[in-house]
Amino acid sequence: MMQELALGGFLNYDASFLSKEEADKLLEFLRANVSWEQKFYTDWKTGRKFPQPRLTAWYADDPNMAYSYSGITQIVQSWTPELLQVKEKAEAISGAQYNSVLLNFYRDGRDSVGLHADDERELGDNPNIASVSLGTTRLFRLRSNNDASNIVEYQLSHGSLLVMSGTTQRHWKHEVPKDHNIHTSRINLTFRKFYAP
């Protein structure tokens, strides 16, 4: 399902990107085999560190392709055949080429990601981001930079794919808000093309 956003952004959502069997198998593999990291943000005013509300991992083509955002640096891990297979399938849907993936492990509804855009210069001017969801369905919310009342929401389900393209990262921010009614986990894979600085 393709949706056009204001100012040239596009969303393409496929709830059945992976079959239930494929999604179940990949979810269990990632839970057991990824070297998940707990990263810490730094409050630049106080110097105090506090934990990022999720676990993460970063895979990329180049072992020197470290990814930094919000004072956090992700160290490259080597691709697994399982991740490469999903990457190739996402590329076939999106028409883009990806050389990296950021994995987020939301352990329950207390884990989240705040309102932000994937607009780091290493991702280019109009990055194409392919987001694969596994596990518990979570709310994904986009908000226009120009009109805070302009909100788009998706319930990202197990085995689904959401592709953000065009000017989405330039004119919109997105989040996965906390939900204390959720007690089960979700893993999200965000494939992107990363340009070395």
For 27-41, the pLDDT digits (tens) are 999 999 999 999 998
For 156-170, b/e burial (b = at least 16 CB within 10 A) is bbbbbbbbbbbbbbe
C-alpha separations of 165 from 3, 22, 32, 60, 142 in Å: 11, 25, 31, 20, 13
Where do the domains of the chain lie, and which CATH numbers do they carry?
Answer: 2-192 (2.60.120.590)
The CA-to-CA distance between both ends of the chain, in Å, stands at 34
The pTM assigned to this predicted structure is: 0.94
Q: What is the spatial distance between Cα 94 and Cα 163, in angstroms, rounded to a whole number?
A: 7
Taking only the tens place, the pLDDT of each residue in 142-172 is 999 999 999 999 999 999 999 999 999 999 9
Quick one: pLDDT at residue 197?
65
Q: What is the spatial distance between Cα 55 and Cα 111, in angstroms, rounded to a whole number?
A: 9
Compute the mean pLDDT over every residue in the chain, rounded to the nearest whole number.
95
Q: What is the mean pLDDT of each run of 10 residues along the chain (197 residues)?
A: 96 98 98 95 84 96 82 88 98 97 98 96 95 98 97 98 98 98 98 87
Quick one: pLDDT at residue 196?
73
Quick one: pLDDT at residue 64?
84
CA torsion sign, 1 to 22 to 158 to 177? negative
Quick one: pLDDT at residue 41?
82
